[in-house]
């Protein structure tokens, strides 16, 4: 291509960039107005349902060739910066840095939010309860390995609400200092990540011991310090810890999703496509398991998950966790929940929140 022609095209790009910048500033002025309006109303600045509606509208009307996943990424950062102008956001997450929960938090809140890594799930809950962080991000379940018990257990003693969910498709990487599979004498990772790749190790490294460590990031750190150790960790860990990829995509199930919850203090308003999470313990009566689902089936309410956990202080009694499609402000949902309450020792609504988009992110395991 002739140099002149290239210069002309670049001039056109400059012109468009100037227009984009003008529009961003016009948008920012409106956002400042929105921020002021919110200050004088209920003070809820972060609105996940509005953000989701923006992504859905733009990706549906995008005629290309700019790719739809890039539309989401660009607007993620525009919205993140906008929200930060309204109120600088502190978001606690189950750390350390470069773990999968970190990626989920970045994906949801963008790069303008202040993301604070904490050592445990209870610490994330506490940070939000004490008002030191506006929101918290914790893993709750993986499509291969099931629920993260620590997170479900925390809701028993906490008044925090689920205000949004994040669903991410996860791909695991085997990483080491040398990148040489022959030099590996042990593999370290978070137990969930190891479990999600068990079959791959049976087939490819059957004699190498698999060792549990606290997080995939801790595993990457160990691999960086010991050439004979390999870690299952995120792509972000390659750069952060100076590692090489021995093998990418080693997860047994290519449809490997992890679901995260965003916890906060107020239930968001209806988005029109919501999920409600409740927890309860039922009275010990004949036929109760059957009857507890009746309030939902007779109103044709779709249940997307049911989980049970042993009660900590009572042997053989259980707490149930139920996810239903709909918002607690929808009359059939609130009626069904009230009817169920009659069969329960206790029942708590954990929150109603927009159903997540399913995003693909190359990452790691369940603890984040």
Ligand X SMILES: O=C(O)C(=O)C[C@]1(C(=O)O)C=C[C@@H](O)C=C1
Q: Which residues are catalytic?
A: 258, 260
* C-alpha dist (Å) from residue 153 to 131, 235, 287, 306, 318: 21, 30, 26, 15, 12
CB of 284 to ligand X, least distance (A): 44
Q: Which is nearer to ligand X, 58 or 208 (CB)?
A: 58
* C-alpha dist (Å) from residue 39 to 34, 44, 197, 298, 349: 9, 8, 48, 42, 27
Tokens 């991410």 correspond to 168
Residues sharing a CB contact under 8 Å with residue 182, sequence separation 6 or more, in sequence order: none
Q: Which is nearer to ligand X, 105 or 292 (CB)?
A: 105
x/- track of binding to ligand X for residues 212-251 (CB under 6 A): ----------------------------------------
Do residues 87 and 39 touch, judged by C-beta distance below 8 A?
no
Minimal CA–CA distance to 343: which of 281, 250, 297, 256?
281
Neighbours of 284 (CB within 10 A): 9
Q: Is 47 near ligand X (CB under 6 A)?
A: yes
CB of 260 to ligand X, least distance (A): 17
Q: Which is nearer to ligand X, 79 or 262 (CB)?
A: 79
Q: Which is nearer to ligand X, 50 or 186 (CB)?
A: 50
Reported as half-sphere exposure (CB side, CA atoms, 13 A), residue 126 has a value of 7
Number of residues this chain uses to bind ligand X (CB under 6 A): 11
Q: Is 328 near ligand X (CB under 6 A)?
A: no
Q: Is 353 near ligand X (CB under 6 A)?
A: no
CB of 40 to ligand X, least distance (A): 14
CB of 18 to ligand X, least distance (A): 21
Element (H, E) at 136: strand 135-142
Q: Which is nearer to ligand X, 39 or 212 (CB)?
A: 39
Which of the ranges 43-51, 126-134, 163-171, 311-319 carries the binding residues for ligand X, by CB under 6 A? 43-51
Which of the ranges 44-52, 179-187, 234-242, 326-334 carries the binding residues for ligand X, by CB under 6 A? 44-52
Among positions 61-120, residues that touch ligand X (CB under 6 A) are: 79, 82-83, 86
CB of 80 to ligand X, least distance (A): 8
For the beta sheet containing 318-325, the strands, ordered from the edge strand earlier in sequence to the opposite edge, are 303-310, 318-325, 274-282, 344-354
Tokens 């060739």 correspond to 65
CB of 158 to ligand X, least distance (A): 23
Q: Which residue in the set 46, 125, 201, 260 belongs to the binding site for ligand X (CB under 6 A)?
A: 46
* C-alpha dist (Å) from residue 289 to 101, 155, 284, 294: 34, 22, 9, 9
> End-to-end alpha-carbon separation of the chain, Å?
46
Q: Which is nearer to ligand X, 171 or 273 (CB)?
A: 273
Q: Residues in the site for ligand X, rule: CB under 6 A? A: 31, 34, 46-47, 50-51, 54, 79, 82-83, 86
């Amino acid at each position: 291509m002739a140099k002149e022609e290239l210069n002309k095209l670049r001039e056109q790009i400059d012109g468009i960039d100037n227009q984009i910048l003008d529009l961003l500033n016009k948008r920012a002025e409106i956002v400042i107005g929105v921020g002021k309006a919110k200050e004088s109303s209920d003070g809820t600045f972060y609105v996940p349902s509005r953000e989701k509606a923006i992504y859905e509208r733009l990706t549906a009307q995008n005629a290309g060739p700019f790719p739809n996943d890039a539309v989401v990424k660009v607007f993620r950062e525009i919205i993140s910066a906008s929200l930060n102008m309204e109120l600088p956001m502190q978001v606690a997450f189950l750390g350390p840095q470069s773990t999968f929960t970190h990626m989920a938090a970045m994906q949801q809140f963008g790069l303008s939010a202040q993301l604070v890594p904490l050592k445990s799930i209870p610490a994330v809950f506490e940070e939000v309860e004490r008002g030191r962080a506006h929101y918290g991000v914790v893993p709750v379940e993986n499509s291969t390995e099931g629920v993260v018990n620590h997170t479900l257990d925390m809701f028993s003693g906490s008044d925090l609400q689920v205000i949004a969910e994040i669903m991410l498709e996860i791909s695991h990487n085997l990483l080491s200092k040398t990148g040489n599979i022959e030099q590996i004498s042990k593999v370290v990772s978070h137990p969930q990540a190891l479990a999600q790749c068990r079959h791959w190790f049976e087939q490819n490294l059957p004699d190498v011991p698999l060792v549990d460590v606290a997080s995939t990031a801790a595993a990457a750190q160990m691999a960086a310090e010991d050439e004979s150790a390999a870690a299952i960790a995120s792509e972000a860990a390659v750069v952060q810890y100076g590692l090489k990829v021995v093998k990418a995509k080693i997860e047994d199930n290519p449809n490997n999703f992890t679901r995260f919850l965003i916890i906060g203090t107020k239930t968001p308003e209806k988005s029109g496509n919501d999920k409600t999470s409740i927890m309860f313990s039922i009275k010990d009566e004949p036929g109760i398991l059957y009857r507890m689902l009746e309030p939902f089936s007779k109103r044709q309410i779709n249940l997307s998950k049911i989980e049970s956990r042993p009660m900590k202080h009572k042997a053989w009694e259980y707490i149930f966790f139920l996810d239903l499609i709909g918002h607690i402000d929808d009359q059939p949902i609130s009626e069904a929940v009230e009817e169920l309450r009659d069969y329960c020792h206790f029942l708590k609504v954990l929150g109603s929140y927009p159903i997540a988009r399913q995003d693909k992110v190359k990452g790691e395991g369940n603890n984040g």
